[in-house]
Amino acid sequence: MKIAVAKGDGIGPEIMEAVLKIFSASQVPLEYEVVEMGKWVFDKGFSNGMTPEAQHSIESLGILFKGPMETPKGKGVKSVNVTARKTWNTYANNRVFQTLHGVDTVFSKAGIPIDITVVRENIEDTYGGIEHMLTHDVALSRRFITRPGSLQVIKYAFEMARKKNARRITCGHKANIMKITDGLFLECFYEVAKEYPELKSDDVIVDDLCMKLVTRPDNFDVVVLTNLQGDIVSDLCAGLVGGLGFAPSANIGDHICIFEAVHGTAPDIAGKNIANPTALLLSGISMLRHLGFMENAAIIENALLYTLESGIHTGDFGDKSKASVNTTQFAEAIIANFGKQPSMNPKPVLPNMPATPTVFKLEKNSMMVSQEMEAETIIGVDMFIESAEQPTEIARKCQRHAGVKFNLINVSNRGTQVWPTGSVFTNLVNQYNVRFESLDGTPLNQQDIIGLYVSLSGNFKICSLELLNTWGGKKAYSLAQGQ
Ligand code: NAI
């Protein structure tokens, strides 16, 4: 079986060399095709950080094992790490955080065991990176949460939880504030939960979740979240088990999967052969299991756990009174410990069952659309306008444009209603949302909206607009604070 390997930048090549040395000593039956991705590929002029040959290899092989990569600062280019996850639709980011004996933490010292898997949605949310300056003072980020995207990652999380006999699966969210976006994610969670009655499924608001994770991490098992919240919560969980040096990550898609460490290129220690290869090794071990190399994975993991238990450590962790080893020596210690069993959490050595590699020759992009269930009606529009005038003056001007089809419903600033009622204590910025709805709820069409846009543009610069839709009579938009 052949996989693509990208060594990465900074400490990437050093830790990748250490991990591949361990694989080779364990006679992992894999061949590697080294592909060109990372900072130096940006520098060569490839704006997405990978060569076309690298893209072709990864798309034909289906598995990418990668080291951390640097995104050049100030050049307007996007992170190759995020581009890779999004381009190949690796919709689920799976991160396993387990107590590692030999890695001292507050919890290991208190005898509280941790075994948490965080599944983070990997494509959507603010990571779309769709951002605009609407006025000199006002920046906007669009946050997409979609039904098919949410269902994909949540189904993966439930399936994985079932396979690992999880006790509990929890959805982290902020649906109390973001009722439509996080509300949709939560709705999808409980929709999927119905198919897994044997699993205890519940939800926790993300701020409360963070508090509960640091007070009683042993109460959690599998946690599924949207992208940004998942990013933050998974780093929190990395802290619970000893830091980023112990946090592996698998980016799972239907066709392509990417295995990498959570940490970055560690430029401060690059080139010194002192980096900790554990996170990349744990990612590699999960890749071996994904490919069916169960025996190799267990032998390597047991040797790693034994090595950690015996107190061997790189400079970033462990007993500081004991001399640390370098990256190469750490890898050699693991190899020397092949066949040894750790006293805590030894992994059962199961026979290898390599998956048959599937070659996907996709002809076109797959379209994910849910069945439309309810009739959609346009009943109004939110016009986002630039103005430094007072709310009453804005309302007076807008009412002149409402004509015979529209009613000016309210004016809000940063989501807080400031007309027809509001407070002079609300600070304003130079961008308002003026909400128009149709008179008597009469359905509108796009031409009506364009007519209003043209009329309103006589008085204001319109920065953007959003249609106000109802589905089956239910409002498909949020109300302003105070509306
Ligand atoms: P970082 O994770 O590279 O470093 C943070 C701190 O942790 C540093 O003190 C570093 O020395 C230490 N550290 C990280 N990994 C370590 C290891 N294996 N062994 C010992 N110490 C380790 O985060 P930072 O400094 O914010 O980012 C540096 C670069 O990495 C940036 O260009 C960033 O864009 C990139 N990055 C790439 C990621 C990826 O490829 N998936 C993820 C995160 C950052």
Left if phi > 0, otherwise alpha if psi is -120 to 50, otherwise beta: which for 286?
A: alpha
Which of 416, 415, 411 is CA-nearest to residue 394? 411
Per-residue CA distances from 30 to 2, 34, 146, 287, 350 (Å): 6, 13, 37, 11, 18
For ligand 1, whether the C-beta of 444 sits within 6 Å is no
What pLDDT is stored for residue 115 in this prediction? Answer: 94
How many Å lie between the centroid of ligand 1 and the Cα of residue 98?
20
Handedness of CA 412, 414, 416, 422 (dihedral sign): negative
Which ligand 1 atom minimizes the distance to the CA of 260? 41
What pLDDT is stored for residue 53 in this prediction? Answer: 95
Phi and psi (nearest 5°) for 46? Answer: -90, 110
Q: Which of 95, 265, 272, 282, when mutated, tests ligand 1's pocket best, judged by the most ligand atoms within 8 Å of its CB?
A: 265
- CATH number for the segment(s) 2-336: 3.40.718.10
Left if phi > 0, otherwise alpha if psi is -120 to 50, otherwise beta: which for 96?
A: beta
For ligand 1, whether the C-beta of 26 sits within 6 Å is no
Kindly report the protein residue whose alpha carbon is nearest to atom 1 of ligand 1. Answer: 264
- Domain boundaries of the chain, sorted by first residue: 2-336, 376-475
How many Å lie between the centroid of ligand 1 and the Cα of residue 265?
4
Which two structure tokens, joined as six digits, stand for 124?
């959507």
Name the residue type at position 76: G
pTM above 0.75, yes or no: yes
What pLDDT is stored for residue 278 in this prediction? Answer: 96
Kindly report the protein residue whose alpha carbon is nearest to atom 10 of ligand 1. Answer: 266
What pLDDT is stored for residue 75 in this prediction? Answer: 66
**Grouped pLDDT means (10 residues each) for the chain, 483 residues:** 95 98 97 94 89 94 96 78 90 94 90 95 92 95 96 97 95 97 98 97 98 96 98 94 90 95 94 96 96 96 96 90 95 97 89 80 87 87 97 97 95 96 96 95 95 97 96 89 79
Q: Domain 376-475 adopts which CATH fold?
A: Alpha-Beta Plaits (3.30.70)
Nearest-angstrom CA–CA distance, 436 and 404? 12
How many Å lie between the centroid of ligand 1 and the Cα of residue 388?
43
For ligand 1, whether the C-beta of 283 sits within 6 Å is no
What pLDDT is stored for residue 77 in this prediction? Answer: 79
First to last CA, the chain: 60
Phi and psi (nearest 5°) for 173? Answer: -165, 175
Nearest-angstrom CA–CA distance, 37 and 171? 34
Which two structure tokens, joined as six digits, stand for 347?
């992994």
- Residues paired with 3 in a beta bridge: 32
Kindly report the protein residue whose alpha carbon is nearest to atom 9 of ligand 1. Answer: 266
Nearest-angstrom CA–CA distance, 205 and 293? 38
For ligand 1, whether the C-beta of 265 sits within 6 Å is yes
Handedness of CA 103, 105, 111, 112 (dihedral sign): negative
